[in-house]
Amino acid sequence: MKKQSAGILLYRMLDKKLEIFLVHPGGPFWKNKDIGAWTIPKGEFDGNETALDAAVREFQEETGHLLPGPFHTLAPIRQKGGKQVFAWATPGDLDAAAIKSNTFEMEWPPRSGRMQSFPEVSKGAWFDIATASQIINPAQTALLDELTSLTSGDGK
């Protein structure tokens, strides 16, 4: 069975321009990567919870913020590795500099025998659609396109 993730595409209108909130993965593998590394806050889930429940939980785990909705279902996408991503859009606002992510542990450096803890998300930021389209995981640009269409935002 292919892995699946669920996430939230948070957006706001600022000075009549559509902006979206993205996060940058934490940990040593993503430290010096920018283009194509940013993503919507999301995470894997299994059959023990609904995709929407997982998306809301993952957003809270990765940012420290609980979103009330309403949530608009976006068309699922498939990322390069085959993972299917279910996503919902919701309007809202948060202070990107104040997010607080949960952590994960991994052996680092490799084969060192030392376990280190890293945040799942190293940072979050608001972007206009044009900038977000350049830095987001390429498979997730379809989510931006759908949101732009739904909000009639031109991203300019």
**127 Cβ contact partners less than 8 Å away, ≥ 6 residues apart:** 19, 20, 21, 22, 38, 135
Q: Which residue has the tokens 């952590």?
A: 103
- pLDDT tens digit sequence for 88-143: 999 999 999 999 999 889 898 888 989 989 989 999 999 999 999 999 999 999 99
Q: Domain segments of the chain: what residues?
A: 4-151
Q: What is the pLDDT of residue 1?
A: 59
Tokens of 58: 């993952």
Count CA within 13 A, CB hemisphere, residue 4: 16
Q: Which residue has the tokens 């949530």?
A: 71
d(CA 72, CA 96): 22
Given a contact cutoff of 8 angstroms between Cβ atoms, the answer to whether 143 and 7 are in contact is no
Q: How confident is the model at residue 155 (pLDDT cuts 50, 70, 90)?
A: very low
Q: What CATH architecture applies to the domain 4-151? A: Alpha-Beta Complex (3.90)
Q: What is the pLDDT of residue 92?
A: 96
Q: How confident is the model at residue 12 (pLDDT cuts 50, 70, 90)?
A: very high
Q: Is the pTM of this model over 0.85?
A: yes
